[in-house]
Structure formats: C-alpha cells, structure tokens
Structure 1
C-alpha cells in the first residue's frame, strides 16, 4: 500500500484530513494541464481568422475595410487609421499605422500629439503607446502586433488647441 491508499496513519488517525488537497498524482496534474492547453489553443484559433471573400481571397476582419482603413469620429475630430501591410500581420513584424486627423470642416489638423496603443483584449496583452510623427497631411507610427489574433488599436489625438479625442479600431492580424 502507498501512503495515499493506506486507511490509517501509523498512529491510528484517519488519513483523509491529514493529506493536503491538490492533484492526486503527477499524471493527473499533467492531464489537466494538457486539457487546459488544448482548450486555450482552440479558443485562440477560433478568434484568429479573417473572412474569405467570393473570389477566395482573404479580407481583414474587424473594423478595417478591404484597404485596411477605418474612420471614427470623436470630440469634433475625424480620425482615419490605415494599417500596412494589408492584411495586418502578427508575430512581431513591424508594420505602420497611418493616422489622418480632420476637424469638423474636413481640414487636416497639423501640430497634434497623436499616440497609438495596440492591445489584445482577449489575451490581456498591451503593446505600449507609440507616438506618431507628422507625415504629409497626417501622422505615422510603427505598429507591432506580437501575435496573430484580434487586436484593438486605440488612437489618442490631442490637438494644439482643443479637446483630446480617443477612438478605438478593431482588427485581426494574420500569421
């Protein structure tokens, strides 16, 4: 008999209360860990795909259109995010985020402080703020998506004069 199957301890006490709770065997713990890993992998994989169009090509999922562009409005500003490469890729390869900012009259907003913050809400991963630099009539920042899957890109624009604007864009990065 082993200590787990022995009905009594040497002093005659019952064994059920004397042994700590937890996995009964290392093999059982390994099985539970493997099962949890399989379920986690399945959850990640089901949320990572884009869609396939009628021609069989892949189109970006989330808020982006077929040109990897999306527009949102907040606090009187219109913010357009354009992601390259299209479709966006995960795995740590550096891409770019182009940000166009227009006022209520449709004019470009120069001299604003523009920051992007990529995060993966399902995995509770944050990419850290990146400050965009002026580029033409808009702004550009490096965009690094650590892995394939669903991402939220939060863009914060603080004009030289006026109220700050925060908009969020959802996208799905491919492998």
Structure 2
C-alpha cells in the first residue's frame, strides 16, 4: 500500500470533558454520497482510540502541502499535540486548522471492526475547501501532487 498515494489528514474531536484529541491518518475516504458518509481509521492501540470511538462528532483536516510538520506532530507519541496553538474552533465547534486544504465535519455514524483498526464512519455535516494544494503520503514520505490544477486536462507525454 505504500505505493498508493493518499491524503494526509489530522482528525480531531473533543471528549465529553472538553479535552481535545487528534491523530494523523492517511486512511481517509469517501464512502457514500447518499447519505454523505466518509471513513477514517484509527488504530485500536492508539492513545486516542477511546476518545474517537465514543465521540459524538469529529473533524477531518486534509492537510495542505506545507503542513508536514503538523502531520508529524499529531503522529508523535507522548507530546501535547495541541501545544503549537495552530488549532482554532471550526465546524461543529471542533478544533481545526484554518489553513487546511479541506475540512470535513462529521457526526459519528458508526464504528466498524477493521482488524487492528477501528473504522470511524462519519455522516458529513459541513465542509470547507481552501485553495491550498493537499499534502500526500506516498512511498513512505510526504509529497505534493505534481498537477495541482483540478479541471485542467492532464499533460500527456508525446
């Protein structure tokens, strides 16, 4: 799967006591158009697992190409992932990145067994799309799409 490009996301929530939680994931995908559903996967042994599987809602921040440092911070263990102060209150009142390429706010629709991961199925409640080029994970590193101009025809080799 390392050779399959994927968006890099930081998914956030707030628990019932008001504490923010977040993690980095590249396992984010559209699931259904009607109703509008997306999925993101969280490891069963992750420190954030319980917070997300019991959450009422969550926010998927699709990171911009210049936010690899944010991805690394939210993937690290034993650190205060929110200490940098770059999160602000966004859709559904959840912590988010104002300059994320895309934000997708969801109500937790279901939690499914995905082996060593839990699959969070979210019903999309709100979205925000910015002008930024997204950060991708490909071949075990961060990268950006080469042709970052949606709607233009792809260049073909002669």
Compute the TM-score of the two structures, normalised by the length of structure 1: 0.27
Compute the TM-score of the two structures, normalised by the length of structure 2: 0.29
Larger Rg: 1
For CA contacts below 8 A with separation 6 or more, give which structure has more relative contact order.
Answer: 2
Give the strand-richer structure, 1 or 2. Answer: 2
